[in-house]
């Protein structure tokens, strides 16, 4: 049942993210509304006197409904054409990665759906209009008025859609949309804020022992039965599998990684060779793969989309440093948000405190490198972008709480300044960058000089990192 729920949830998220789901829903809604209105008209056609502005004739009803249905389907085609043109321009100028957010745009989907729904509604009502002399005369007065009302609403929505389509084609709006997805992904994957109390019933201070490490290295190697990008991993399935079989499962892959067939996706300690087929089936069913990455459990998906926009903006063919600056601002703000969150631990335990999962997690350093490495390299030709990078580092530094995070940010800043020096820019620009770097270094000095926690001899991580004090015993997120 749990596996079925996971598959249905993954399928549902794919469906609602598609361009066709809302229009199809609206089309079905148009049919249903027409049936209800016709039934209402038929049931009450002789029970009251209608006001003059609701009355119509069969010829008038047929003319109005024919005009509305023909006009709405024509405008729906225009809306689709405008959408395709916008997608084409967006893809060519900002990269194909950003199409994901444009396809998910609800305003576009509901606009298309409203026109299709009005068209289908008018056609269904038109079919039921019967002239005088025909059997069972029916003039659907209320249904025709409802069609006129839907047509008026559709025209108002069309005006808003034209305004909306001109707005979402602008670079700042696209960047803001990608940043919204990134912030939502951070909130989903790292829900706990630093300073919040740790979860209850989770053991504290337990680390991966040498014996457990040897057992995992010598355990069963579970291989992938399909290929694609890991969009999500259902940790509840794996945790239940490990708990029921008294196993320890290590996952060397994380959401966002690419899997090829027969590639190792897990190592199982405590498993028997005769159970290898069952374990392979269950573990593979916990991995949801797709042809592209998804931000559901992969923070770096949205990070790479923003970074790609910045890199393309810095290319000689486009030469748009202001878009790159916009991306840097959003990325630095997102990293400020991430620095205030607790990073899930690599070791996950069951309710009784036994180690069950060892995962490859996303960290602040990995997201920082994904955000700025490529931009830093392509920004060598633009001093303004390099300056904004240092401003972004300073914005992040204002939110940092850990010495290792400060070291990572300072490392990025040093590489940025060294790259500008090698590019041979004007000395005045270089002086500004040096001054910004010195200010950042002074700002991070108190944090960088803070004593590091003592190292553990278990698996090379900090003792705090190895504890499960703020990890999760279960939950779907494998960060």
* Tens of pLDDT, residues 198-257: 455 545 445 666 777 777 888 889 999 999 999 888 888 898 898 888 888 999 998 999
Mean pLDDT of 354-367: 88
Confidence check: pLDDT of 451 > 70: no
What does DSSP assign to residue 273?
G
Distance in angstroms (rounded) separating the CA atoms of residues 308 and 313? 8
pTM for this one? 0.79
Q: What is the rounded end-to-end Cα distance, in angstroms, of the chain?
A: 24
Q: Please say whether the beta carbons of 478 and 359 come within 8 A.
A: yes
In this predicted model, what pLDDT tens digit does every residue of 257-291 receive, in sequence order?
999 999 999 999 887 777 888 899 999 989 988 88
**Torsion sign across C-alpha atoms 171, 172, 177, 180:** positive
Lowest mean pLDDT, pick from 199-208, 349-358, 364-373: 199-208
pLDDT of residue 131: 57
Give, as one character, the DSSP assignment of residue 319.
Answer: -
Q: Is 248:212 a contact under the CB 8 Å cutoff?
A: yes
- Give the whole-angstrom CA distance, residue 310 versus residue 305: 9
Residue 15's contacts (CB-CB under 8 Å, 6 or more residues apart) are 21
Q: In the structure, what pLDDT confidence band is assigned to residue 86 with cuts at 50, 70 and 90?
A: confident
pLDDT of 343 reads 84
pLDDT at site 211: 76
Which is more confidently placed, 169 or 68? 68
Is there a contact between 477 and 255 (Cβ–Cβ < 8 Å)? no
């Amino acid at each position: 049942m749990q596996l079925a729920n996971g598959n249905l949830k993954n399928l549902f998220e794919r469906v609602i993210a598609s361009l066709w789901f809302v229009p199809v829903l609206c089309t079905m809604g148009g049919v249903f509304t027409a049936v209800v209105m016709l039934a209402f008209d038929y049931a009450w056609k002789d029970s009251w006197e209608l006001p003059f502005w609701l009355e119509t004739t069969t010829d008038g009803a047929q003319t109005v409904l024919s005009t509305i249905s023909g006009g709405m389907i024509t405008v729906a085609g225009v809306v689709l054409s405008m959408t395709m043109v916008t997608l084409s321009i967006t893809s060519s100028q900002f990269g194909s990665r950003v199409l994901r957010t444009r396809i998910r745009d609800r305003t576009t989907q509901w606009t298309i759906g409203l026109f299709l729904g009005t068209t289908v509604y008018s056609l269904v009502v038109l079919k039921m209009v019967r002239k005088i002399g025909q059997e069972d005369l029916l003039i659907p007065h209320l249904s025709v008025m409802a069609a006129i009302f839907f047509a008026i609403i559709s025209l108002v929505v069309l005006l808003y859609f034209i305004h909306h389509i001109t707005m979402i084609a602008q670079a700042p709006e696209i960047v803001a949309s990608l940043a919204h997805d990134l912030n939502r992904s951070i909130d989903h994957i790292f829900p706990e804020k630093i300073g919040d109390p740790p979860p209850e019933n989770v053991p504290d201070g337990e680390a991966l022992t040498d014996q457990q490490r040897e057992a995992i290295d010598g355990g069963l190697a579970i291989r992938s039965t399909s290929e694609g990008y890991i969009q999500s991993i259902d940790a509840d399935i794996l945790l239940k599998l490990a708990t029921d079989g008294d196993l320890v499962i290590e996952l060397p892959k994380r959401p966002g990684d690419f899997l090829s067939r027969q590639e190792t996706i897990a190592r199982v300690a405590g498993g028997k060779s005769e159970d290898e087929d069952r374990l392979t089936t269950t573990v593979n069913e916990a991995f949801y793969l797709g042809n592209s990455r998804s931000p559901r459990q992969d923070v770096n998906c949205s990070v790479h989309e923003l970074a790609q926009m910045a890199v393309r903006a810095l290319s000689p063919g486009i030469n748009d440093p202001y878009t790159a600056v916009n991306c840097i601002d959003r990325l630095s703000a997102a990293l400020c948000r991430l620095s205030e969150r607790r990073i899930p631990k690599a070791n996950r335990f069951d309710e009784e405190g036994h180690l069950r999962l060892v995962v490859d997690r996303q960290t602040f350093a990995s997201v920082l490198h994904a955000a700025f490495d490529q931009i830093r390299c392509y920004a060598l030709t633009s001093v303004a972008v390099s300056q904004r990078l240092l401003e972004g580092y300073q914005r992040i530094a204002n939110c940092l709480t850990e010495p290792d995070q400060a070291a990572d940010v300072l490392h990025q800043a040093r590489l940025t300044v060294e790259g500008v020096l090698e590019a041979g820019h004007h000395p005045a620009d270089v002086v500004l960058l040096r001054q910004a770097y010195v200010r950042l270094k002074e700002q991070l000095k108190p944090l960088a000089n803070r004593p590091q926690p003592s190292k553990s001899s278990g698996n090379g991580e900090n003792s705090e990192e190895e504890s499960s004090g703020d990890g999760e015993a279960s939950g779907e997120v494998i960060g």
